[in-house]
Chain A
Amino acid sequence: MAIRLRLDKPWQPLTPEQATRLPGQLGVYQIADANGTVLYIGHAGGRSPFGLRSELQREAKDRGPGCQFRVEVNMQYRTRWFELLMVHQADHGALPPDNAKNPPPLGRLSPA
């Protein structure tokens, strides 16, 4: 059975305090604005010093208040990241705005 395609966990406020409580594991994450519109899909890879925690701490610092986030711990962070980007593109016709600035090479998915 296939794992689910889309991240559907509830959003949490993107603050330094919330980010500090995250695990230091590898995985993927989404950043959204206050309305839940996805702005960016990222991953915490093998070079992240404290995995999701340090990536989201950096995001919180760079973006300031007003954003939300959700994460998924996943050792297959790269393929899951590509998958989330392609699914977003299929669902919305475009990448999240902050990914579209420097898009990675992507294929096309047409999820059932």
Chain B
Amino acid sequence: MDFEPNSEQQMLIDQVRRFVREEVIPLEAKLDPDASELPDEDFKRLTDKTKAMGLFGIDIPKEFGGPDIDIVTRVLLAIEMAQHRAGLYVPCYGTFGGAGLAQIFEANEDQKERYLYPTLRGEKKPFFGLTEPSGGSDPARAIQTKAERKDNGWVLNGAKLFISGADRAQYGIVFARTDASKGRNGITCFIIDSDTPGFHVRRVVHTLRSSSYATELEFKDCWVSDHQVLGEVNKGFAVANARLTRQRIPYAAGCIGVAIAAHEMAIEWAKMRSTFGEKLANRQAVQWMLVDNEIDIRTARHFTLEAAEKARRGLPFRIEASIAKLTASEGGGRVVDRSMQIHGGMGMTKDLPLERWYREMRIRRVGEGPSEVQRMVIAREILGSNLR
């Protein structure tokens, strides 16, 4: 497979790179180092620019009015979009627009009218409610939130943890157990309006990612009608799983973008900084750190583009997505760590973005399936179904 960008992709890459360097990074100099939002006037100005570039709503499928970007090109652009201080979790501060949750595209027509189209118009924001206090790596077994039949609908009781954006969302996709005897085939996906009686955002969950928080949710006799079932009853896990696999590819791309930015800073610093009468760049210890950075970045980039290319061709890509997520999140963390080491004391300060990347990159080894689960997925594929 040839992963060199074609001329059209290169043009888009150059366009996004200029946007990040000329529009986004200068604004960050004035923001709090942990900021995750732009002032309204800057957000609008930059959004107008991405619309003029034809890249607004970049993740919206073409049939719903999106710009028709294939997943390989999307990965190449995601690598560029992440190359600023907030870039790992808020690439370009959301000025390329959002597409909502992938599952909602599978909704029926009535649900699309009520949720998908308002989301695409920017009128509604969703949250994704899968992980629970009982665990998130193995949701098929860990989900304890129950939905029981009552009055031509369902009553939900339970809790969710580490849910981003639930306090600001108008609705969410929530997974609940509808048949305790059927394991992964007893989970159903519901669309829950956040003003539904019995739905509560109980608290903020503070993490290493201090720019933004997760929340804990409680469902207390929360009744919803049958119209709120997304897909089929007891087939909710397939809905969750499809998203989780595909999501690993852009997730990896974000890690690569930040790793590249950290690596470039380390190279520049090593060429400039002298200790004991010698540039850091001339010291073998530093050269080897930079070499290891380069190898980690190239490895992650190769595997991530391979996963994207297989997905683009419609081929199975589960193992490739796991390898991409694993190499990018673990390699990216090592790159940021080495780049901080090369910067010395300055690398630890909030003056530079390295310390934010260091904290946020650590989360990437757990988010979207931890490294150990990725290795399990790969092992299953290598060794066959007897490990399932």
Contact = CB atoms under 8 A, between A and B. Distances in A.
B203 A78 contact: no
B204 A86 contact: yes
Contact of B35 (A78, A80, A83, A112): A78
B111 interface: no
A50 interface: no
B281 to A, nearest CB: 29
Nearest to B351: A46
Given A75-B210, A78-B210, A111 B32 contact: no
B33 A79 contact: no
A109 B166 CA distance: 9
A76 interface: yes
Nearest to B166: A107
Contact of A110 (B165, B202, B211): B202
A82 B204 contact: yes
Contacts of A105: 37, 168
A40 B201 CA distance: 24
A2 B204 CA distance: 9
A79 B89 CA distance: 15
Given A78-B32, A82-B213, A83-B213, A111 B203 contact: yes
Chain A residues touching B, majority SS:
loop
Interface string A58-91: 0000000000000000011111101100100000
A72 to B, nearest CB: 12
Contacts of A47: 32-33
Contacts, number: 73
B203 to A, nearest CB: 6
Chain A interface size band reads 20 to 34
Interface in B209-225: 210-213, 215-216, 218
A5 B203 contact: yes
B237 to A, nearest CB: 28
B34 interface: yes
B344 to A, nearest CB: 19
Contact of A107 (B34, B201, B210, B216): B201
B32 A46 contact: yes
Chain B residues touching A, majority SS:
loop
Given A78-B211, A79-B210, A45 B34 contact: yes
Given A45-B32, A47-B32, A47-B33, A76 B206 contact: yes
A110 B34 contact: no
A80 B206 contact: yes
Contacts of A77: 34, 210
B337 interface: no
Interface string B29-66: 00011111100000000000000000000000000000
B141 interface: no
Contacts of B362: none
Contact of B202 (A79, A82, A112): A112
B208 to A, nearest CB: 9
Given A76-B206, A110-B202, A111-B203, A86 B167 contact: yes
A45 B169 CA distance: 26
Contacts of A110: 200-202
A108 interface: yes
Contacts of B167: 86, 106-109
Contacts of A108: 167-168, 194, 201
Contacts of A75: 210
Contacts of B35: 78
Contact of A109 (B34, B202, B207, B350): B202
Nearest to B212: A79
Given A47-B33, A78-B34, A83-B213, A3 B201 contact: no
Nearest to A78: B34
13 contacts: A5-B203, A45-B32, A47-B32, A76-B206, A78-B211, A79-B206, A79-B213, A83-B213, A106-B167, A107-B167, A108-B167, A109-B201, A112-B218
Q: Which 10 A-B pairs have the closest CB atoms?
A: A107-B167, A46-B350, A46-B33, A107-B168, A79-B213, A76-B210, A83-B204, A45-B32, A110-B200, A76-B206
Given A2-B216, A79-B210, A111-B203, 17 more contacts: A5-B203, A45-B32, A47-B32, A76-B210, A78-B36, A78-B211, A79-B207, A79-B211, A79-B213, A80-B206, A107-B165, A107-B168, A108-B167, A108-B194, A109-B167, A109-B204, A109-B215
